[in-house]
Every structure is written in C-alpha cells, then in structure tokens.
Chain A
Amino acid sequence: MNQGYKQVKRMTPAMRIIHWVNAFSMVGAVITGLYIGHPYYQTFMADGAVDKYIMAWNRYGHFMIAIIFDVTSVIIAYLYFFSRFEKPYKKLIPNGKNITEFKAVLVNLLTLNRKKEFDSSHADSFNTVYFTVFHLLLVWMLFTGLQLYVHGLGSGISSIGAWWPWMLHIATDWTIPVTGGSLMDVRIAHHTSMWLIICWVLFHIYYQVWRTIFWKEADIAIVIGGSKFVKEDTLKA
C-alpha cells in the first residue's frame, strides 16, 4: 500500500452478502425468466413427460429466486432507514448538499475524471440514487411478478393457505391498470423491466470498474473486502 493512504470501511459483511446474493439471484432470474418467456432450449423428446420437468423446474427456480429477492428487499428497505452503519436515505433527500454532491459526481463522470470536487471517501449521493433506482426496479419486478403468479391460484387456495393468494391480490392487482389494463400488459412490463435491469447492471459494473481504474482508490474492493483506500491529505481537506 502506498504511504499516506487510509483505509475507509464502506460495507458491512451483511451488506456484502446481500449484494452478492442479489447479483447471483439476478443472473438466475434472467436465465430462468428468459426460458419462461420463450423456452429457448429443447428437451429430449424420447423421454416421457413424467420424467422431465423442465419448464416446471425453471419456474420453481424463478420463484425461489423471487422469494430470496423479496426477503433481501425487505432487509434493504429496513437498512435504508435504520442501518447503524450508514443510512442511505440521508443521501436521497434532495437538499442543497446532496444535489451539489450529485452534480459534482456526475461532472466527474462526464469530464472523464478531470474534475473531482467531492469527498469520495464515503457513499456519494449519485451512487445512492443509482442504487435506489435498482431497488425500485426490483420492487416493480416483485409486484408484477407476483401478479403473474397469482393468476395460477384462481381457486383462491394455496399450499400455505388462502391468505397467500388473498394477500397477493391486494398487494399486486393495481399493476394491471397501471401497466395498461390487461394481464398481458403486466407480462410485457415484467419482461421489459428485465432489460432495464440488465442495462442497469451493465452500467453499474462499468462505473465501479471505471472508478477503481481512474480514482485509484480501490473502489472495487468495497464489495469484496468491505473497504476502500483514500489519500489522507484529501481526507482532511
């Protein structure tokens, strides 16, 4: 390590675990979801239908991942407000300080790191907003996805009781009018949002790598080791 660098803790182990659970869930959800939308590989015809369960397994995987996403979303929503480490909601409030910081980070990105007029040691407003967009997209996917799911529970009963479809209707029926009025609109919205999320991931990975290369503060280590390194003189400034 260069002398004069200070280690700054940025993510707790719990945050890092959630990040990677989300990342792998994301990949799994896309792989299984694309199959559900349009089965893109074929099964062996010679086997009897009872021996294979390809679509069913894909749906099973997709729903299991959805439940994991549900749980991590609840935890993240909680941490946004009640984390003892850093409360991200504070960076979302559109006050003068946050807006200035948001602009400064954006300017840094657009000027290709020629200008860097903000404190890069802590979580910045720009990234927090960007992460929040992801969480909102995810919540949107959960609501539309659960709406598609409850269509199969027309009997009003499920293996875990009647409360589950009842609750799903209450929680997700609003997605039908919001997306355009038919069940197909919910499906189209769910599928299109997948592409938005993939685009989000693409820029996210790029931006974190870009920061690591150009800021020279080991930002990529945040999500693995939990901390980054900042020049001590900039810290004091």
Chain B
Amino acid sequence: MSDRVEAVKKLFTSKSSRVETNKGESYYQELFIKCEARLNELRANTPANRLDFADLLEENGIDRREFMKWASATTAMLMLPPMFTPLVADAAVMMNRAPVIWLELQDCAGNSEALLRADGPKIDEIVLDIISLEYHETLQAASGHQAEKQLEEAMEHFKGKYLLFVEGSIPMGMNGQYGTIGASGETFHDHLVRCATNAAAVVAVGSCATFGGIPAASPNPTGAVGVMDVIKNKPLINIPACPANPANMVGVILHYLLTGQIPELDSLLRPKFAFGYRIHDNCERRAHFDAGEYVEVWGDAGAQNNFCLYKMGCKGPMTFNNCSIVRYNEAVNWPIGVGRGCIGCSEPDFWDKYAYERPMADAKIKAPSGGVEKSVDEFGLGMLTAAGVGITIHAAASAVAGKREKSGESHE
C-alpha cells in the first residue's frame, strides 16, 4: 500500500516543472552543515591534478573580489541562500578533486568548444579547466591503445566516484555501426554503457546528448537517441541547449561537489535551477510582447528599437532555460540580446519543432497524411475548404432534388 501511495505521489509531482525557491530555514541549515562536512572531507583528499585555482585566477587577471562576485552569482543561480556563498567559493577551489570522464559521441563538439574557446577564459571556464578531467576524447593528447588504457585506469581508480559527462547523441541504427570509437572499434552505444557502469552519475551535456538533438532531427538517418534512452539505471542529469551553457555545467558539478547529490530535476531530468522558468518569463523584451510591438522584417524600425521577436519566430514562450538571466560567455550576450529569436534549442525535438524561425502557425509541419508538408494554417484552411466544397455540393444537390419534388414526383 505504502509504495502505491508513493507511486501516486510521484506521478502527481514528477511531471511538474514547479521550482521551490524557498525551502525554509531549517532545510538550509541542515544542508549547510551537510555541505560543510562534505567539503572538509574533500579537503582531506589529495587533489587529482596539480592545477591550483588561485594561481589560475591570478594568471588570468581575476582578483579575489571578482571571484567572490562570481561565487555569489553562482549561489543565486543554484537557488541557494546567500550564506552558501563561501561554500560555493570553497567548492570551486576544490574542483580539482572532482574526477570527470568526458565522452564525445555523435555531435559537433560544440559543448567542449563552449567551455574552452571563450576569448578570455572567465571564471566558469577556469573552474571547468581545473576539474580533474581524466579522459576527454577531443582534448587528450593520447590516442589509440594509449587512450584506451588511460580510460581503463581512470575508471578503475575512481570507480563509483567519477562524473561521466556525455556530449553527443547515440546512433542506434545498424546496430550502432554509424559511430565507433577507439582502436577496437567499439560502438558509441557500448562505449557509453561501459563507461556509465561505474560512474557516480551521468551528465548529458548539450541537446544531442539529452534528446538526440540535430542528429535525431527528421528523418534521423542514424537512429540517434539521447543518453536517457540508453542509460536507465544511473542518476542522470540533462543539461540541454546548443551548446549547453558552461554556467549550468559548473552549477551541476558544484552542486554535486557541495552536496554529493544531483540537483533537483524536472520531468525531462533537467536541473530546475536552470530550466525551471521559460526564457519568455525573464526576457528583456517581454514588455514589447505584451504591448504587441513586434519586429515585422529584419532590420525594420521595430528591430532597431529592440521590439519583441515573436513574429520572427522566437520560441522563448515555449522554451525552458535560464539564458535570459545567465546569458552566455559570462553574461556578455545571448540570442535575443543580439536581435534574433530563440530557436528553443533546449527543448526536445527542437530542430524539427522549434527552429524554423517563423511563428508556429506559419511553420511547415507534417500533415497527418504524412509526406506532404503544410503549415498548420494552410492545413486548416484546406480542411475548411474541403468542408465548404462538400457542403456546397450537398446544398446544390438538395436544391435540385427539391425542385424535382415540386414538379410532381414527390415521394410523400
């Protein structure tokens, strides 16, 4: 009985995207003590690499004040009260104690790029630099059997402790032969399953790894799927978006380091601290949306006045993500800030269903009959026309039949 009650409770709460931003004083006190204990424990561990966070900050010209500003912003992003700021700062310093194995599957390496190629490394990127990256297929110097050996060793040494970051989708077509890796020609699917077996948790980074992304777009020739369709028996965190925001990656690692747990997730396994609200809810152009002020054509007077991009196909109203607050590249800018609409890159099936750069009503969707692509309105008007034609024929026939009746051949 009790697990049935639990099951009902789960059913009624798991699908919700509700964000609990204040869980009460006692909850946070307890969490604080837990986190402190965990950080002390970590401090006793020897770092997995020799990179020193303080040195790196200094090398990049970032002073303590700037770092603490970042720490308080990150604390707020994680939806923790301000008293956690020193803990977050501590956790960032101890990032070199977080073993990470990073897999690169079917994708463009855009997520690795996002965290590595910022023009001047910002704090988020530096934090990601010093994580103990034990194995990263794109970045490591080793290759072939040597790389394979490194992976084996890392998985053995950090058994049950490492975070497995996965970037890219998994091709399932043709027994997974669309993507193989390593000297032994292991398929992406087998590779992922093998590496996930002993991971503490799996973090799917970017839209490809979470929902299949662009490789899974229609007609999905390789049968691409996301990590959550393959790995079922592990704690799994999805950080979608194309690319995933480094701030959210740092957030998840920090949260794990601090609490030893994965953050609260929504029904799509996305951390609620990042994906609890729509872009639309915190958009700087929201006032123009409500006012009915839209950019009609690229570069028109509306565009020059930062009007709402809804009519240019912005999908902010249907996209849950925090880029309207966190933005990209340490809050430098984001898509809507540069005057183009959101393409909903952090939602499932975004390439087919969101990224067509026009309002949904104008979009080409597959007609229920299949094959032919029609916009919703064209399809609707077609149906209406068919109904109208049918009615006209029926009316005309009825009128003719009525006349015939009058002229004497009544059936009554």
Report A's interface with B, CB cutoff 8 A: 34, 37-39, 42-43, 45, 49-50, 52-56, 58, 109, 112-115, 151-152, 154-156, 165-166, 169-170, 173, 176, 180-185, 187-188, 191-192, 194-196, 198-199, 202-203, 206, 210, 213-214
Contact = CB atoms under 8 A, between A and B. Distances in A.
B348 A181 contact: yes
B284 to A, nearest CB: 12
A151 B388 CA distance: 36
Contacts of A187: 318, 360
A112 B397 contact: yes
A114 B411 contact: yes
B379 A195 contact: yes
A15 B288 CA distance: 42
A176 to B, nearest CB: 8
Nearest to B267: A173
B165 interface: no
Interface in B341-376: 344, 347-350, 353-354, 359-362, 365, 376
Given A112-B394, A202-B384, A53 B276 contact: no
B311 A39 contact: yes
Given A184-B318, A184-B360, A210 B278 contact: no
Contacts of A169: 15-18
Given A39-B311, A55-B291, A182-B347, A199 B397 contact: no
A211 to B, nearest CB: 11
Contacts of B296: 42
Contact of A37 (B288, B293, B360): B360
Contact of B15 (A45, A173, A195): A173
Give 10 closest A-B pairs by Cβ, nearest first.
A54-B292, A195-B380, A156-B18, A173-B15, A184-B353, A49-B291, A56-B290, A154-B277, A37-B361, A38-B361
Nearest to A110: B394
B55 interface: no
A203 B12 CA distance: 40
B289 A55 contact: yes
A56 B293 CA distance: 11
A154 B281 contact: yes
Contacts of A213: 398, 402
B292 A55 contact: yes
A154 B359 CA distance: 23
B344 A191 contact: no
B391 interface: yes
B401 A154 contact: no
Given A113-B398, A182-B349, A202-B387, A45 B293 contact: yes
A203 B387 contact: yes
Contacts of A114: 401, 411
Given A37-B359, A181-B349, A182-B349, A199 B290 contact: no
A39 B288 CA distance: 12
Nearest to B266: A154
Q: Is the interface of A mostly helix, strand, loop or mixed?
A: helix
A169 B267 CA distance: 12
Interface of B: 12, 15-21, 267, 276-278, 280-281, 287-294, 296, 301-302, 305, 310-311, 315, 317-320, 344, 347-350, 353-354, 359-362, 365, 376-377, 379-381, 383-384, 387-388, 391, 394-395, 397-398, 401-402, 411
A38 B122 CA distance: 40
16 contacts: A34-B361, A49-B291, A115-B411, A151-B320, A154-B277, A155-B21, A156-B16, A166-B18, A169-B15, A181-B349, A188-B353, A191-B376, A198-B384, A202-B391, A210-B394, A210-B398
The CB with the most chain A CB atoms within 10 A, among B320, B359, B360, is that of B360
A88 B293 CA distance: 47
Given A154-B281, A173-B267, A195-B381, 11 more contacts: A39-B310, A54-B292, A55-B292, A56-B291, A151-B278, A155-B18, A170-B12, A183-B318, A187-B360, A195-B380, A214-B402
Contacts of A53: 290-292
Contacts of A196: 383
A188 B376 contact: yes
Given A37-B359, A151-B278, A169-B15, A54 B291 contact: yes
Contact of A195 (B277, B278, B293, B384): B384
A180 B17 CA distance: 18
Contact of B17 (A49, A154, A170, A188): A154
Nearest to A170: B12
A203 B349 CA distance: 36
B302 A45 contact: yes
A180 B288 CA distance: 31
A181 B267 CA distance: 11
Contacts of A182: 347-350, 353-354
Given A151-B318, A155-B21, A184-B349, A39 B361 contact: no
B118 to A, nearest CB: 29
Nearest to A162: B18
Given A152-B278, A194-B380, A39 B292 contact: yes
A222 B379 CA distance: 34
Contacts of A198: 380, 384
A39 B359 CA distance: 9
The CB with the most chain B CB atoms within 10 A, among A180, A184, A191, is that of A184
